[in-house]
Structure 1
Amino acid sequence: MKKRELAAYGAASIADAGPYSLVTVYLIVFLTTVAKLSPEQAGMVTSVTILVNGIAEGLLGYISDHTKSRFGRRRPYLLASLVPLGAGLILLFTVFEGSPSVRMASYLGAGFLFWAGFGMYFTPYSALGAELTCDYSERSILRTCARIFGLVGNILGMVLPLTIVSFLSGRGCSEAQSWKILASLMAVCACSSILITWNSTRGKEQTGNVGCSEEGSRVSILGLLKDYWSILKLKPYKYLIGVIIFFMAANTFYNSSMVFFARYTLGIRDEITSAVFLISLIANFIYTPILGWGSAAKDKKHVVAAALAAAGLGCLCFFFSGIDSYAKMVAYVCVFSLAYAAYWQLFNSLLYDLSEVGEYVLGKRTEGSIMSVYGLISSISTSVATQAVGWILGMSGYNAALEVQSQSAQMTINYLFTLVPGVCLLVAAALQQLYPLNKKRFQQLKQAISEKDKKESIPSELKRII
């Protein structure tokens, strides 16, 4: 692929990382401190609405696999996602008036709208990458490029929000107005990036139902369930499912508790917390080329496993040694960022390779459905973990009205920020290392697909793992 083609695809990753970071990191903070919901209510709003994303992603991948359009199988859904994604994001960071039940209903509705739009964009966009190149190594390059744009999105959605809110609040805006303006700016940036990719990839994707008969191209609930059940039975995918569950749990606990840890354990102002997020993004920028080089020189599955394991061990070291200063928090964030960078940069590339596994085993390419299962599992994992954060904070005695939290609440926040992520990352690393598909086996698989007598041409070792 040419550099401009890599950049054209990667641009829309801003719409992935930016809104996702803003919602997963700051929504629970906004809902408890500005909208005045309880931690349990905030956790429920976040977790329940995230499930909508899972449903949307679960449907859109399968539907896009079976879409016939002269505009392609994936791109039409990118365009359709713009309104719900943008409008839902703005409404999520709006303060609603009324009774508690009315306010809860308002945030649930906003969350449903946002996550439906996000799912409508994310799965077809992710699946599009698997169609643009079928080369094992080039897929890593494609995802590395997308990750660079994703880091720009992270800056917008993770680093700048507290600084922007503080700036606007100091210029006469209320805190509520500041958050709404911030969300509006993010919506514009996200939707613009999707439009860039939608326009720039025109004519680049496959336009038919690859590997599907006319009957097989029909969309139905039964067909969806059959497709997903077949994909879940692919042996290599079972290991990746475990990686998804435990990484998303680690990431959710880490992100959701960072602002609380900075405020109540270290007493750091929000402006300084923004600097911590910036440092984490700088670490990500540093890790990106190193991970890209590593995946080219070594097998990408080993690179991801090593990064997850190193970060997991680092988290546990900081838990036992304690984080009692700004400098130690910065160091800890840089350690966790290694796992964050490796997962978001290379994991999609691993999922793309399952397209060939599905093509051999199922007789058709199902990139969309593979990414749908990924999205559904990610959403469920994030939803459960987010609800757990809200519930655990409530049980610990956390009270958003207090500037100084109880010892029990502070201890709980520390566990959520360091211990739980560390354990989850180590489990994810072990499962990633057990994942059986590597570059050599992938090349054997592609050769077998190209042969007429596939059953005879595939090595017995490869048969056992797919």
Structure 2
Amino acid sequence: MIRERGSKLYVGYAFGNGSEACIYNFVASFFMIYLTGVAGINAQLAGTITSIALLTETVASIVIGKISDKTSCKYGRRRPYILVAAILAPISIFAMFYNVRFPLSLKVVYYITAGMAFWILYAVFYIPYTALGAEIAKGYDDRTKLRSLARGFGLVGTLLGFNLPLLLLQFLQEQGFNKSFAWHMVALMIGIVCFSGYFFCWNLTRNGEIQQLNIEKNTTRNSIMTMFYDFLELLKLKPMKIALIYKVFFTCAFTFFSTSMIFFLQFNLQLKNDKTATIYVISVAFSLALTPFITKTAIKLGKKKQQTIAMLFSGVCGIILYLLGICNYYITIIYVMIFSFAQTSFWQLSNAIFYDIIEIDEFVYDKRREGDISCIQSVVGTLVTAATVQIVGMLIEIAQLNLNGSNQGPLVVKTLSLIFILLPSINLVFAGIIISIFPITRTRFEVLLKTLMLKKEGRNYQCYIKEIDKMIR
């Protein structure tokens, strides 16, 4: 049982994941749709805007990761950044979904700027927040439990981030409000959710951080060259390489799936917003039901085996459904539920997998770089997402999707099926293959903790070196 103080920390941490999931899914699912359907920007240009804005997060993540690791403040290393994001992120969300009446060139500049502001503030929250999780939960299974609780809150946030816009847009437009005003109200509501979750996270995680000692303050150690040297050190670690490649394949799958889902539902199946929202409710409900099952499976089998099973099963089933052809509402629900298994498994446990690399770093380099590790995996995810979004925009533009027409040509239907079903499924299969060779298991992690303790005490730990070498070489 988690003690009362621990429960408060875990719940506070989970609130942050709820808001992060809400705004991430909202922006990932609707920004391109807003740019093409309301702002009047073509799909390829909208993809470029989205990609450029996303790339800003890579720079922000690098800077924030290093700064938060080096922060020495009575309010903590991580939590001050969470509070800053709570105040400013809602403003950036509203700016992204505000319909400006500018010429096209100025409109593009405006939305790139608004998008950049959002993703910078996303990094200001996400990097310190992710690093904070490794400090709150230090054990192999404790990290699984923390991320599982956070995932439960995250699913509620996901539901809000996807369904709230659809339902509120439909309601406001039925009441006679124009599309621009409806989107403004949606952005306002999402901003309120963002602030609330971030603020609760900041408030409830007091005293949950590790107080870092001997933080180096000289300018040489904080130079850009040193920053990248630290990253190169981490990238030399065997588990870091494998975990990052795993994330690349899953991120491709998730981005193809999430950015094309609404297009597929609206144009291939010709569903209205309420039917689309129903599919998402079913998906989230199924994911919530899966969460305790995934937790128990991960504790019993280990995180690596659970992830391998989830990715391979979902990927193979998706390929089979693509070959059979998804052409109706009910088969689409089955596919979305299958993908939800992989998606829920990844978001629930992937950060816990990266957390376990922190102790490897500590053993090899005598450093704890939670922020740098969080930063690297975030940067890789962002770069892959930006590239994948650009590919989606290009494919949709090549297929000549007519956003104002309900009946689309066979090329559009085929292209959307390719993006929504086949490409995600292939990437899940590759992800499953890669994570199957991840070297950190529960048994080896426990050996690692014992070895670290002996090393700190200056005692002999040679009897454990053989197991340690399996993780780092």
TM class by smaller structure: over 0.9
* Higher mean C-alpha displacement, 337-346 vs 79-88: 79-88
2-structure distance, mates of 1:302, 1:296: 10
AA matched with 1:201: T
Does 2:448 align with 1:445? yes
2-structure distance, mates of 1:218, 1:191: 35
Deviations 1:140-163 (A, max 9, x none): 000011111101110110122111
Q: CA separation of 1:349/1:216 partners in 2, compared to 1, >3 Å: closer, same or farther?
A: farther
**For 1:155-304, what aligned pairs fall within 5 Å after superposition?**
155-209=159-213, 212-213=215-216, 215=218, 218-304=221-307
Which TM-score applies when normalising by structure 2? 0.96
Deviations 1:63-95 (A, max 9, x none): 111111111110111112234321111111111
2-structure distance, mates of 1:177, 1:54: 32
AA matched with 2:468: L
1-structure distance, mates of 2:415, 2:305: 33
Aligned residues of 2:20 and 2:154 also touching (Cα < 8 A): yes
> Displacement of 1:214 after TM fit?
5.4
Does 2:69 align with 1:65? yes
2-structure distance, mates of 1:95, 1:405: 27
* Higher mean C-alpha displacement, 110-119 vs 295-304: 295-304
Deviations 1:325-350 (A, max 9, x none): 11111111000000110000011111
AA matched with 1:327: Y
Q: CA separation of 1:386/1:86 partners in 2, compared to 1, >3 Å: closer, same or farther?
A: same
> Displacement of 1:457 after TM fit?
4.6
Aligned residues of 2:439 and 2:470 also touching (Cα < 8 A): no
Q: Which residue of 1 aligns with 2:471?
A: 465
How much is the aligned-residue C-alpha RMSD, in angstroms? 1.5
Aligned residues of 1:67 and 1:217 also touching (Cα < 8 A): no
Give the percent of matched residue pairs that are identical in Structure 1 and Structure 2. Answer: 29
Aligned residues of 2:43 and 2:394 also touching (Cα < 8 A): yes
> Displacement of 1:459 after TM fit?
2.5
Aligned residues of 2:314 and 2:425 also touching (Cα < 8 A): yes
> Displacement of 1:218 after TM fit?
4.7
Q: Which residue of 1 aligns with 2:413?
A: 410
> What is the aligned counterpart of 2:309 among 294, 306, 310?
306
Extract unaligned runs of 5+ from structure 2: none
**For 1:318-397, what aligned pairs fall within 5 Å after superposition?**
318-397=321-400
2-structure distance, mates of 1:372, 1:23: 20
Deviations 1:336-368 (A, max 9, x none): 000110000011111111110110011010011
2-structure distance, mates of 1:46, 1:376: 15
Does 2:116 align with 1:116? no
Deviations 1:364-383 (A, max 9, x none): 10011000001100000100
SS at structure 2 position matched to 1:196? helix
AA matched with 2:64: L
AA matched with 1:262: L
> Displacement of 1:127 after TM fit?
0.3
Aligned residues of 2:134 and 2:370 also touching (Cα < 8 A): yes
AA matched with 1:231: L
AA matched with 1:358: D
Q: CA separation of 1:463/1:453 partners in 2, compared to 1, >3 Å: closer, same or farther?
A: farther
Deviations 1:385-438 (A, max 9, x none): 001100111111222233222211111011001100000000001111111111
Does 2:338 align with 1:316? no
Deviations 1:132-182 (A, max 9, x none): 121100000000111111011101101221111101111222111111111
Aligned residues of 1:72 and 1:207 also touching (Cα < 8 A): yes
Count, aligned residues? 465
Extract unaligned runs of 5+ from structure 1: none
> What is the aligned counterpart of 2:108 among 104, 107, 129?
104
> Displacement of 1:453 after TM fit?
4.4
Aligned residues of 1:69 and 1:207 also touching (Cα < 8 A): no
Aligned residues of 1:70 and 1:207 also touching (Cα < 8 A): no
2-structure distance, mates of 1:129, 1:104: 37
AA matched with 2:325: G
> What is the aligned counterpart of 2:60 among 51, 56, 67?
56
Does 2:137 align with 1:133? yes
Aligned residues of 1:245 and 1:381 also touching (Cα < 8 A): yes
> Displacement of 1:59 after TM fit?
1.5
Which TM-score applies when normalising by structure 1? 0.97
> What is the aligned counterpart of 1:6 among 1, 10, 21?
10
Deviations 1:270-298 (A, max 9, x none): 21101111111011101101001111111
Aligned residues of 1:448 and 1:457 also touching (Cα < 8 A): no
Aligned residues of 1:323 and 1:329 also touching (Cα < 8 A): yes
2-structure distance, mates of 1:336, 1:461: 35
Aligned residues of 1:14 and 1:193 also touching (Cα < 8 A): yes
2-structure distance, mates of 1:209, 1:326: 57
Q: Which residue of 1 aligns with 2:435?
A: 432
Deviations 1:293-333 (A, max 9, x none): 11111111110111111110111011011111111111110
AA matched with 2:144: S
1-structure distance, mates of 2:320, 2:219: 52
Q: CA separation of 1:276/1:217 partners in 2, compared to 1, >3 Å: closer, same or farther?
A: farther
Q: Which residue of 2 aligns with 1:422?
A: 425
2-structure distance, mates of 1:371, 1:408: 40
AA matched with 1:331: I
